[in-house]
Amino acid sequence: MSLKSYSRARAVHVMLVYTGGCNGCDIEIVNCILSPKFDAEQYKVFLTWNPREADVLVVTGPVTKHNEKPLKEIYKAIPEPKAVVAAGACALMGGVYKNIHGEIPSEEIAGPVEEVIPVAAKVPGCAVRPEDVLSGVVAALPLLLNAK
């Protein structure tokens, strides 16, 4: 492994963006970073709140119309290489909010995340389990390691 990919694997900075979920996934993700039981830092995953510092963007929620632009801006601010992890049912397919009554789409939801920004890894669950989030971030790693 070259120094480049080695260093990328040894320090992964994660940024969280909540785009209008129910708070369940959000709390679970904060839980997996702040709770000593899961402790993301032992897997070399560090929390940051600054897109300029981040490598991996973890997005939860179905991306409401009002959140679409901020999410795009934040994605744009992250320097390459970057990867997006969509966490939770809402982020994957809009959850219960996207389609109301069969095929009628909701006017409030711009998501799922895939339609707004490119997604590298998807973590299912309502709400996601902390272990799954960590494995999702790790699953997105090869994309970072092999990037130019």
Partner 1 sequence: MSVSTTIITSVLAVIGTLIVAFFVSLWLPGIERKFVHARIQQRVGPPLSSPGFMAPIKFFFKETIIPNSPMPRLYNALPLIGLLSIFLILLFTIPQMYFLGALTTVIAIVGLLKIEEVIYMFMGVLSRSVLSMGMPFPDVVKGAKHPNAKRSFLEELSSLRAFRLIAFGSFPIYITLFIPVAMAKSLYLSEIVAYQQINGPILFTIAGILGTIVFFMGSMILLNEYPFAILKTKADVIEGPLMEYAAKSRAYIYITRGFLIFVLASLYVTLFLGIPPNILDPFFLVTVGTAIIFPILMAILSAFSPIFTFKQFYPVVAGTSIIGILGIIAAFI
Partner 2 sequence: MNDDNKINNNKSTKETIIETEVAMGVVHPAALEPYRVRLFVEDEIVKDAEITIGVNHRGIERIMEGLPVEKANSLTEKVCGICSNSHIWNSVMVAEKGLGIEVPDRAQYIRVIMGELERLHSHFLYLAHGNEVLGHETFSMRLFYIRETVMELLRMIGGNRVQYGAPIIGGVRPRCELNSKRIQKIKEGMDFVEEKAINFADRFVSDPMIMSRITGVGVISRKDALRLAASGPTLRATGVARDLRTDMECYDPFDFDVITQDDGDVKSNLLVRVLEIFESVKIIRQALKDLPEGRITNRSWEMADTPIIKSYIEVPRGTLYHSYRIEEGRTRNVIIRTPSMSNIGAMEHACIGNHITDAQLAIVQCDPCFTCTDRAIKIIEL
Minimum CB distance to partner 2, residue 107 (Å): 7
Query: Around 141, how many Cα atoms within 13 Å sit in the side-chain half-sphere?
Result: 20
Secondary structure E strands in 22-82: 45-48, 56-60
Query: If you ran DSSP here, which 8-state letter would residue 60 be given?
Result: E
**Residue of the chain from 22, 138, 139, 145 that contacts partner 2 (CB under 8 A):** 22
Closest CA to 125 of 89, 86, 84: 89
Identify which range of 3-11, 21-29, 88-96, 123-131 contacts partner 1 by CB under 8 A: 3-11
Q: How many C-beta atoms lie closer than 10 Å to residue 54's C-beta? A: 25
Q: What are phi and psi of 18, to 5 degrees?
A: -100, 125
CB 121 within 8 A of CB 115: no
Return the residues of window 77-116 that contact partner 2 according to CB under 8 A: 95-97, 100-101, 106-109
Q: Does 148 bind partner 2 (CB under 8 A)?
A: no
What x-and-dash track marks residues 19-58 binding partner 1 by CB under 8 A?
-----------------x--x-xx-x-x--xxxxx-x---
Residue closer to partner 1, measured from CB, 51 or 62: 51
Where on the chain is the footprint of partner 2 (CB under 8 A)?
17-28, 30-31, 34-37, 49, 62, 64, 66-67, 70, 74, 95-97, 100-101, 106-109, 126-127, 129
